[in-house]
Amino acid sequence: MDYFPIFMRLEGRSCLVVGGGGVALRKVSLLRKADARVTVVSPELCPQLEALAKQGAIEHVARDFQDDDVLDRVLVIAATDHQAVNQRVSALCMERSIPVNVVDQPDLCGFITPSMVDRSPLQVAISTGGSSPVLARLFRSRIESFIPAAYGGLAALVEGYRLQAKERIPDPELRRRFWERLLEGPVTELFLSGREDAAREALEQALEQGLDRRDTGGEVFLVGAGPGDPDLLTFRALRLMQLADVVVHDNLVSPAILELVRRDAEMIYAGKKRNQHTLPQEQINQLLVRLAKEGKRVLRLKGGDPFIFGRGGEEIDTLMQEGIPFQVVPGITAAAGCASFAGIPLTHRDYSQALVFATGHLRDGTIDLNWDMLAQPRQTVVFYMGLVGLPIICRELTAHGLPASTPAALVEQGTTQNQRVLVGTLETLPDIVQEHDVQPPTLIIVGEVVRLHERLQWFQPGTDHTTESLFSSRGQVEQQSAAPRVEASHE
């Protein structure tokens, strides 16, 4: 390797920055985060550095660089626009074995500053040896997406118990195994889910009981998988998907998302299609309890958001009654995800003053809703699970006061590469849907905001599509790529 990775303690130690512009400011900021004593040598300072100097946060030497400036420094950074000055600073430091960095000039550097993920006291440094700082930053962004901000606090918590662990478990190898087991278990999950006091208590109990302790209690992760696109998962959802021993998933969870689950996890399908319920809801509730009582970490993976037509409330009610620990991770609900990818802003101020979510699920061949409330002007109504009941929805909204010309859209498999958007009116949409062999999962949007689709559509998953004029007698259809469909739940 071209560079030896090292972390330096700079707290209270003298560091020099030569230069007073924006680049110097960035380096000064990094040094101050490490609590270094920073001296800046430059005839002039940018406004931010000048403010720091006036506050006494840095020392400013208002003149050109001189050779003696590098003396008694533990680290030097040259950040000027003058090549001769930068070369001189580098040469002087090299002669005196002082670590030196010349910004954007690797050949003059004794060390380079890496791209960093800072979860102090946990830190990750990424370097390409100066060959591609942009690539290092891109790699850092990927690492950051998998390291929640709370890991810094977790590291600080563990640091406070290192001496106790050393006294309790003197053998280094046994102590290493103890920390590995502890940090892969409930202490980490308790802390990252915001239960810091419980995490501290669990850590203290583990230290008291030592390496012989075996966790017997399980936990349930109720996770929203979003509308279908794996990129829309939250960081916490991805993390918990890798921790689960068992996955209980719905039919609405796309195969691409299931691919991200821990490879050796047991998969249990509990989805529902219309008139085909693999497991009744009551049995799902009890299944989660049983698996958790067996000591397993159970991932309950649900399409969209668990608390929006997802029956998540029923499931955690049962878990609470049984005393089962759980976490709830919100997901992007279908209304938000599908409407965004269809270019339909649900609450555009020029068209809508209210937004209503409703279920279009048929019960005994009809849909029992407050149609007077739904059939109001200047509001947007989004119907979940309404494909089969679409003719009834359009008929009832018209019967209760909405004009037959009210814009309406159906989004099929929204946010995925199989997305189709069909647009018409309350009068024409049922026929449009019937003609185009629409399959679930689908979402229905009713309201004037649908008019914006033609102008604001931005997501083009396929290359083969046709468009008819908006609100014509046949409505508008976007025919996307004919890839295999994922059928939907009719919960």
Q: Which two tokens stand for residue 486?
A: 């994922």
Residues 316 and 303 in one domain: yes
For β-strands 115-119 and 122-126, DSSP reports them as antiparallel
Domain termination residue (choose one: 113, 141, 163): 113
Domain membership of residue 134 (yes or no) is: no
Determine whether the annotation assigns residue 23 to a binding site. yes
250 is catalytic: yes
Determine whether the annotation assigns residue 304 to a binding site. yes
Determine whether the annotation assigns residue 333 to a binding site. yes
245 is catalytic: no
Question: In this predicted structure, what is the pLDDT of residue 152?
Answer: 86
Residues 351 and 319 in one domain: no
Query: Containing domain of residue 189, as a range?
Result: 151-212
Residues 248 and 319 in one domain: yes
Determine whether the annotation assigns residue 22 to a binding site. yes
* Spans in the chain with pLDDT lower than 70: 210-217, 272-278, 462-491
Determine whether the annotation assigns residue 414 to a binding site. yes
Q: Which of 27, 69, 250, 302 is catalytic?
A: 250
Per the structure, how many domains does the chain have?
A: 4
33 to each of 57, 118, 141, how far by Cα in Å?
Answer: 12, 10, 20
Q: In this structure, what is the dihedral angle of CA atoms 324, 329, 333, 337, given to the nearest 10 degrees?
A: -160
Domain termination residue (choose one: 171, 191, 212): 212
Reading phi first (left if > 0) and then psi (alpha if -120 to 50, else beta), residue 401 is in left
Residues 402 and 460 in one domain: yes
Question: In this predicted structure, what is the pLDDT of residue 466?
Answer: 34
Residues 327 and 352 in one domain: no
Domain membership of residue 346 (yes or no) is: yes
| Residues linked to residue 425 through DSSP beta bridges, in sequence order | 407
Determine whether the annotation assigns residue 385 to a binding site. yes
Q: Which two tokens stand for residue 12?
A: 């209270």
Domain membership of residue 230 (yes or no) is: yes
Query: What does 243-268 look like in DSSP terms, one character per residue?
Result: H-SEEEE-TTS-HHHHTTS-TTSEEE
Q: Which of 27, 69, 229, 272 is catalytic?
A: 272
CA distance 319 to 220: 8
